Protein backbone atom coordinates (compact mmCIF):
# COMPACT_ATOMS: atom_id res chain seq x y z
CA UNK A 1 0.00 0.00 0.00
CA UNK A 2 1.37 3.41 -0.96
CA UNK A 3 0.73 6.41 1.26
CA UNK A 4 0.57 9.96 0.02
CA UNK A 5 2.59 12.50 1.96
CA UNK A 6 2.22 16.25 1.58
CA UNK A 7 5.19 18.58 2.00
CA UNK A 8 4.96 22.26 2.89
CA UNK A 9 7.69 24.87 3.43
CA UNK A 10 7.07 26.92 6.58
CA UNK A 11 9.14 29.85 7.85
CA UNK A 12 10.42 29.80 11.42
CA UNK A 13 12.79 31.93 13.49
CA UNK A 14 15.54 29.36 12.86
CA UNK A 15 15.05 28.79 9.15
CA UNK A 16 12.59 27.42 6.66
CA UNK A 17 11.19 24.09 7.78
CA UNK A 18 9.95 21.23 5.64
CA UNK A 19 6.81 19.72 7.13
CA UNK A 20 5.49 16.40 5.83
CA UNK A 21 2.05 15.08 6.77
CA UNK A 22 -0.11 12.23 5.57
CA UNK A 23 -3.71 12.40 4.30
CA UNK A 24 -4.95 12.10 7.89
CA UNK A 25 -3.01 15.24 8.87
CA UNK A 26 -0.51 13.32 10.98
CA UNK A 27 3.01 14.77 10.95
CA UNK A 28 5.52 12.31 9.45
CA UNK A 29 8.63 14.49 9.10
CA UNK A 30 10.00 17.90 10.04
CA UNK A 31 13.38 19.13 8.90
CA UNK A 32 15.03 22.23 7.45
CA UNK A 33 15.31 23.02 3.75
CA UNK A 34 19.09 22.69 3.68
CA UNK A 35 18.71 19.14 5.03
CA UNK A 36 16.05 18.01 2.56
CA UNK A 37 18.27 15.21 1.23
CA UNK A 38 18.60 13.76 4.75
CA UNK A 39 14.85 14.02 5.27
CA UNK A 40 14.23 12.18 1.99
CA UNK A 41 16.78 9.54 2.99
CA UNK A 42 15.01 9.03 6.34
CA UNK A 43 11.60 8.82 4.64
CA UNK A 44 13.05 6.24 2.25
CA UNK A 45 14.50 4.28 5.17
CA UNK A 46 11.16 4.33 6.99
CA UNK A 47 8.75 3.82 4.08
CA UNK A 48 10.85 2.37 1.26
CA UNK A 49 9.05 2.94 -2.01
CA UNK A 50 5.63 2.77 -0.34
CA UNK A 51 5.12 6.54 -0.30
CA UNK A 52 4.60 9.42 -2.70
CA UNK A 53 5.69 12.91 -1.66
CA UNK A 54 3.72 15.79 -3.15
CA UNK A 55 3.76 19.54 -2.54
CA UNK A 56 0.78 20.50 -0.44
CA UNK A 57 -0.39 21.94 2.81
CA UNK A 58 -0.14 20.33 6.19
CA UNK A 59 -3.02 20.88 8.59
CA UNK A 60 -3.31 24.29 10.21
CA UNK A 61 -3.27 22.55 13.59
CA UNK A 62 0.36 21.57 12.95
CA UNK A 63 1.52 24.95 11.68
CA UNK A 64 -0.45 26.79 14.39
CA UNK A 65 1.16 24.62 17.09
CA UNK A 66 4.63 25.35 15.70
CA UNK A 67 3.88 29.08 15.57
CA UNK A 68 2.63 28.99 19.15
CA UNK A 69 5.75 27.08 20.25
CA UNK A 70 8.02 29.64 18.63
CA UNK A 71 5.94 32.40 20.27
CA UNK A 72 6.65 30.84 23.68
CA UNK A 73 3.76 28.41 24.26
CA UNK A 74 6.14 25.52 24.87
CA UNK A 75 3.47 22.86 25.38
CA UNK A 76 1.70 23.66 22.09
CA UNK A 77 3.55 20.83 20.33
CA UNK A 78 2.24 18.23 22.78
CA UNK A 79 -1.04 17.99 20.85
CA UNK A 80 0.59 17.46 17.43
CA UNK A 81 -0.12 13.96 16.18
CA UNK A 82 2.95 12.18 14.81
CA UNK A 83 3.56 8.82 13.17
CA UNK A 84 6.83 7.13 12.26
CA UNK A 85 7.85 3.83 10.75
CA UNK A 86 11.11 3.17 12.58
CA UNK A 87 12.00 0.01 14.46
CA UNK A 88 10.19 -0.80 17.70
CA UNK A 89 13.22 0.42 19.68
CA UNK A 90 13.43 3.68 17.70
CA UNK A 91 9.73 4.34 18.26
CA UNK A 92 10.21 3.75 22.02
CA UNK A 93 13.06 6.28 22.04
CA UNK A 94 11.02 8.81 20.07
CA UNK A 95 8.06 8.36 22.42
CA UNK A 96 10.37 8.89 25.39
CA UNK A 97 11.71 12.08 23.78
CA UNK A 98 8.20 13.51 23.78
CA UNK A 99 8.04 12.87 27.53
CA UNK A 100 10.99 15.21 28.19
CA UNK A 101 9.43 18.53 29.24
CA UNK A 102 10.35 21.69 27.37
CA UNK A 103 13.24 23.42 29.06
CA UNK A 104 14.61 20.16 30.45
CA UNK A 105 17.55 18.19 29.05
CA UNK A 106 18.70 14.64 29.56
CA UNK A 107 21.67 12.57 28.47
CA UNK A 108 21.70 9.58 26.15
CA UNK A 109 22.62 7.38 29.13
CA UNK A 110 19.77 8.66 31.29
CA UNK A 111 17.33 8.21 28.42
CA UNK A 112 18.60 4.66 27.89
CA UNK A 113 18.14 3.94 31.60
CA UNK A 114 14.61 5.38 31.47
CA UNK A 115 13.85 2.86 28.72
CA UNK A 116 15.23 0.01 30.86
CA UNK A 117 18.40 -0.39 28.78
CA UNK A 118 21.04 1.43 30.83
CA UNK A 119 23.89 0.19 28.64
CA UNK A 120 22.23 1.21 25.37
CA UNK A 121 23.24 4.88 25.24
CA UNK A 122 24.81 4.41 21.78
CA UNK A 123 21.65 2.77 20.46
CA UNK A 124 19.62 5.64 21.92
CA UNK A 125 21.98 8.08 20.21
CA UNK A 126 21.51 6.32 16.86
CA UNK A 127 17.73 6.32 17.27
CA UNK A 128 17.87 9.99 18.25
CA UNK A 129 19.84 10.73 15.08
CA UNK A 130 17.29 8.87 12.94
CA UNK A 131 14.37 10.89 14.32
CA UNK A 132 12.47 12.18 11.28
CA UNK A 133 10.34 14.69 13.21
CA UNK A 134 12.67 17.27 14.73
CA UNK A 135 11.40 19.83 17.27
CA UNK A 136 8.01 18.11 17.75
CA UNK A 137 9.83 14.92 18.75
CA UNK A 138 12.38 16.94 20.70
CA UNK A 139 15.70 15.20 20.09
CA UNK A 140 17.34 18.58 20.75
CA UNK A 141 16.72 18.01 24.48
CA UNK A 142 19.31 15.21 24.60
CA UNK A 143 22.85 16.34 25.44
CA UNK A 144 26.14 14.72 26.34
CA UNK A 145 26.65 13.18 29.78
CA UNK A 146 29.01 16.04 30.64
CA UNK A 147 26.36 18.64 29.73
CA UNK A 148 27.85 19.57 26.35
CA UNK A 149 25.76 19.98 23.25
CA UNK A 150 26.18 17.00 21.00
CA UNK A 151 25.11 16.47 17.41
CA UNK A 152 21.81 17.73 16.10
CA UNK A 153 20.51 17.08 12.60
CA UNK A 154 19.57 20.74 12.17
CA UNK A 155 22.99 21.93 13.38
CA UNK A 156 24.30 22.81 16.83
CA UNK A 157 23.38 26.49 16.41
CA UNK A 158 19.70 25.50 16.06
CA UNK A 159 19.96 23.09 18.99
CA UNK A 160 21.42 25.87 21.14
CA UNK A 161 18.68 28.28 19.97
CA UNK A 162 15.91 25.77 20.76
CA UNK A 163 17.28 25.04 24.25
CA UNK A 164 17.77 28.76 24.97
CA UNK A 165 14.25 29.49 23.67
CA UNK A 166 12.73 26.83 25.93
CA UNK A 167 14.75 27.97 28.95
CA UNK A 168 13.70 31.59 28.38
CA UNK A 169 10.00 30.82 28.12
CA UNK A 170 10.01 28.16 30.82
CA UNK A 171 11.38 30.72 33.27
CA UNK A 172 8.79 33.25 32.06
CA UNK A 173 6.01 30.73 32.78
CA UNK A 174 7.02 30.28 36.44
CA UNK A 175 5.09 32.75 38.61
CA UNK A 176 7.22 34.86 40.92
CA UNK A 177 6.60 34.83 44.64
CA UNK A 178 5.40 38.43 44.43
CA UNK A 179 2.57 37.45 42.11
CA UNK A 180 1.65 34.30 44.00
**Which are the catalytic amino acids?**
139
The C-alpha atoms of residue 100 and residue 137 are separated, in whole angstroms, by 10
Q: Who contacts 165 (Cβ-Cβ below 8 Å, separation ≥6)? A: 70
The C-alpha atoms of residue 168 and residue 180 are separated, in whole angstroms, by 20
The C-alpha atoms of residue 103 and residue 113 are separated, in whole angstroms, by 20
Cβ–Cβ under 8 Å, residues 128 and 91: no
Amino acid sequence: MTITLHQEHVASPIGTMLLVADDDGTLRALDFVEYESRMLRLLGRHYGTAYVLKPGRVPAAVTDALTAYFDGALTALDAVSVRTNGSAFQRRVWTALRDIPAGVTTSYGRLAATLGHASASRAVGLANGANPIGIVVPCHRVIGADGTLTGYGGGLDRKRWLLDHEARFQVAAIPSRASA
